[in-house]
Every structure is written in structure tokens, then in C-alpha cells.
Amino acid sequence: MKKNEKMNVKKLVLDLKKIVGDSYVSDDIYERVSYAKDPMPYDIEEKNIPYVVVRPGSAQEISQLMVYLNKRKIPVYLHGSGTSLAGHSRPKMKGVVLATHRLSWIDINEDYMFVEYGGGTICADLIKALDQKGYFLPMNPGSQIVATMGGLVATNTIGHMIDVHYGRPSHRVLGLEVVLPTGEIIETGTKSLRRPAGIDLTNFFTASEGLFGVITKVRMDLTVKPFMKYVVAFFKEPEYAAYSFMRMYREKIPIPLYGEFLGANSARVGFQTKGLEPPGGCVALATSIGKSQKEADGNAELVCSIFEKEKAFRAMILEPGPEQEKIWASREFILHTTQGKGNFVAVEIVTAIPHLARAMTEIHQVPQTLKIFKDAEIYTYGHLGALSLHGLFVIPNEWTDKKKRAAMMEIMEVDRRLNLKYEAAGGEWGQMAVRVPFFKMKYGEKAHSLIKQMKRVFDPNNILNPGNVDGL
């Protein structure tokens, strides 16, 4: 669509209804606003509210939609469940929101040892389906109860899990069905557990952040559920929790599947929420795995001994039961820290192994370096085993949108600075949208320009999630 060209929304709605049916198109203002808002702490701008929301039910319908929209150069924003914390799903100009929820189905094929599922399948539903057959989804995003698999695969994220075990979706996906922005439907990859050597288009989409196509079907290898054992440790100084995980890598012990961390503030809130005694410091949690329970138990003992060596004032193996469940669940209650006062904004700092303890110290000093959040309370948590740390700040409801936006930018500057300093890049939320300035600084203008050129190859009219490659 040309700039300043007036959209005939009535005709657009009628045309889209012809493709997907009357029940799956809405130009209701409340629907449009609801689909446009994402967890960014400020409201959607009027100029970016979509014309219409459409909910197609198949790759064929998406293909027809794309042909129609591409011809008219109408922007399309994909919406799985809109959980991105980096602004991927928020429309950056007027257009159509394409919600993928109806592409929800799961087919486990034990003869081939793969599972196929629709791009709109909810992560938790897939976890449950696999679990019922003794398999395991090698990813664990905090948003699993709503996040769609298409979005997770396109972000190539595994959430809190430690990379060294099962890798990323790009290591597990055998093949994809993708609708290109120009409307063609392509299949990539293989049905064999043996992946193609050399060029495989699968890899272009498994970390595409929705820039190159709409993932409508995923084929992923089946992973047998490991045996697990849980460990918890309490530290006075957060740096020692970091030293513990650094030491695990150094001493070549079997790295746990999860290595979680709760700063003292966060742990206090989380433990209180679950009805546990305040821990009196920060908390490290680990899940050791093995091919047998004995192996998992043995690995957990090694992890526990490392916590003890690194000055944990208490470290113990948790037997399955209510206490173990409560302690692990306390990790999920981090947002209780907002206490009804407002939204939040968080950094995601990833480090190379040698910097983990230093980053831990620095993240706790961040408030002193800020202007808008000067001396604000920071709630730290993270996935130390995965070399990842978060710092969360509360954004009061009373602040104006302008101030909230400025506050978020201030925090993203910290995110940028520390990820550069510690020689890494965000491991959960992706590199585009709000993180484009980081991408440019870390990899250079040329690298960014290459991404833009690649986008043009797949999406010559730049209709799919436009703006995400340019930054928020």
C-alpha cells in the first residue's frame, strides 16, 4: 500500500471474509486493540492499530491471504499469543493482524520418531501430549501455557533450559511447512532423523523471528523423557551462585538441565507467595538429569557438592513432593514483585562463562547507573546454568506512556551495554524489534543490512512484520 493511500477497510473485510469465512475476521475496535497490545509497558499508538484481525484455519487460507495482501502491499503482523518481551508482535504500522491459533493440532508418529504439529499449537499442549507417551519437549519457556510453537520455533528459543543438552529448535526441527509472504507454500527438511547436510531451508526459518514466512507446520524429532532430580541451594552472596555454575562447567561434571537463580528480593517474594519461609538470601535451583534415576541422583549429588564448595549456607537434594514443587513454583511468581503497582520491564543479560560472576555483581549495581529508575529496586532472577540473568524493574501505572517508553529505552540500553560487555547476545527473546540497535552494535551495519537484504528475498514488498527488522 502506498503511503497516504486511504484503505478501503470495508472492502478489505469483505475480501478477507471470502477467504477465511465470516466468523474469522473482525474489524471491531476492541478486538483490534486487544490483538495489537503486547507486554510492552506502554499503550498501542493509535496510528498502529490494525484495520482488521483475521484468524485463518489452514496453510491454504494463509497462502490466499498472503497473495491478496502482498498484491496490495498491506502489512501483516503475526500473532501467536503475543508473548514476546522484545516487541515482535506489536504492530508498527497499520495493517492486518494474522492470528495463528487455529493452526493447532498434534500428531505423534512413533514409527518415524517425530512429532508434527501446527504453528498455532500451544507449547503446554504439546508438552502434555508428548509426556503422555513418555517423551519430552526440549524447551521450557516461561510463557508455555500460552506461547505458540510457531512463535517459539521462529524465535529459536528454549526458554530456561540449558543449551548443552538438547540444543535449540534449530537442532530439533526436521522440517517445516512455511507460507511465504508472497503466498507460496513450501516444505523444508526431511522425514528422516538424519538431517540434510549442507543447505537446508529449515534453518532459515527456525530463527527468522517471523521475518521470512509464516510457520504453519513443524516436524520435530522425539526426545525420550530423561530421569530428573532437583537440587536447591541458598547463598548470602549472589556471586557464589554464579561461581557454582562456572565451576560446574570447569570441573566437567554433568551440567544440569536447568540452573535457575532467584535474587534475594525475588526469592523473598516467590517463597512468601508459595507459603514458604523467607530463604534469607538468594536461591539457586538445579535439575540434574540422567538416563536412569540412579544416574540423575548421582549427578544431583555432584551439583549439590559444588554448591557446598561455593559457600552455599544450605544445599540439599529435593525429593519429589510438595516442598520440591513449592520451591520450584516460587520461581514462577517473580511478577508478584509488581505488587499491583504497575507493569514491568526487564533486561536479559547473557554472558560468556568467565564473566558470569562479574555480571552478577554488575546487574545488582544497575539502578545506581540509571536516570529514570535511579536507585529503584531491582528484582534479579535468571537461568544461571544457561549463563543468563534478568533484572526486573516495576513501571508505575501512573507514569505517562511517554515516560514508560523512555524508561523501557533506558533499560534496553542496559541490556545492550551488558550483553556487549559480556560477549554474548540475548538467549530467550530474539535479536530484532526492540533489540535491533544491539544487533547493529554487536555485528555491525553490514550484518544488519544483510538481514534486510535476506528479508527482501523472501518478502519483496516487506509486508510481513514490517518494522521489526528496523527496530522499535
Partner 1 sequence: MSRAEERKEIKKMKKELLLATQQCIACEFCVPSCPLYSGWLTDSATGRMQSLHYAIKNKMDLDDRLRDILYSCTTCGNCEFKCKSFSQSVKVTDIVKRARQMFVKEGKGPMPVHKRMIKSLKAMGNPLDEDSGKRKDVYPSTFKKKDQAETLLFFGCVTSFQDVNIIPSTLQILEGAGVDFTALEAEENCCGYIAHLVGAEEDLKKCIEKNLGSISRIKPKQLVTTCAGCFRTFKELYPGEAFNGVQILHGVQYIEALLKEGKIRFKSLPVRKVAYHDPCDLGRHLGVFDPPRNILKQIPGVELIEFESNRYNAVCCGGGGGYKAMDVEKSLEVASKRVAAAINVDAEIIVSTCPSCKGSLQVAAAKGRKEGKWKIRVMDITEFVAQAMNGNG
- Interacting residue ranges for partner 1, rule: CB under 8 A: 26, 28-31, 33-35, 37-39, 41, 43, 55, 81-83, 101-102, 122, 143, 145-146, 273, 333, 335-336, 338-344, 397-398
Q: Which amino acid is at 177?
A: E
* Least Cβ distance, residue 354 to partner 1 (angstroms): 34
CA distances from 213 to 66, 183, 426, 471 (A): 10, 9, 22, 19
* Least Cβ distance, residue 101 to partner 1 (angstroms): 6
Length of the chain: 472
CB-based contacts of 174, cutoff 8 Å, min separation 6: 114, 189, 190, 191, 192, 193, 195, 202, 219, 220, 221
Contact 258, 285 (CB under 8 A): yes
Output 101 or 168, the one with its CB closest to partner 1. Answer: 101
Output 270 or 466, the one with its CB closest to partner 1. Answer: 270
* Least Cβ distance, residue 363 to partner 1 (angstroms): 22
- 305: which 3 cell numbers? 557438592
* Least Cβ distance, residue 31 to partner 1 (angstroms): 5
H or E segment at 155?
Answer: helix 149-155
- 310: which 3 cell numbers? 561455593
Output 33 or 253, the one with its CB closest to partner 1. Answer: 33
Output 38 or 221, the one with its CB closest to partner 1. Answer: 38
Output 83 or 202, the one with its CB closest to partner 1. Answer: 83
* Residue 57 burial (CB count, 10 A): 17
- CA gap 441, 463 in Å, rounded: 26
* Least Cβ distance, residue 332 to partner 1 (angstroms): 8
Output 58 or 273, the one with its CB closest to partner 1. Answer: 273
Torsion of CA 244, 247, 249, 255, to 10 degrees: -40
CB-based contacts of 131, cutoff 8 Å, min separation 6: 225
What single-letter DSSP state applies at residue 277?
P
* Least Cβ distance, residue 55 to partner 1 (angstroms): 6
- CA gap 89, 76 in Å, rounded: 10
Burial class (CB in 10 A: 0-12, 13-18, 19+), 430: buried
Output 196 or 396, the one with its CB closest to partner 1. Answer: 396
Output 404 or 435, the one with its CB closest to partner 1. Answer: 404
* Least Cβ distance, residue 41 to partner 1 (angstroms): 7
* Least Cβ distance, residue 73 to partner 1 (angstroms): 26
DSSP states of 213-266 as a string? -EEEEEEEE-EEPPEEEEEEEEESSHHHHHHHHHHHHHTTPPPPSEEEEE-HHH
Tell me the three state secondary structure of residue 188.
strand
Output 192 or 397, the one with its CB closest to partner 1. Answer: 397
* Least Cβ distance, residue 399 to partner 1 (angstroms): 10
* Least Cβ distance, residue 58 to partner 1 (angstroms): 15
Angle at 374 between CA 371 and CA 377, to 5 degrees: 145
Output 231 or 412, the one with its CB closest to partner 1. Answer: 412
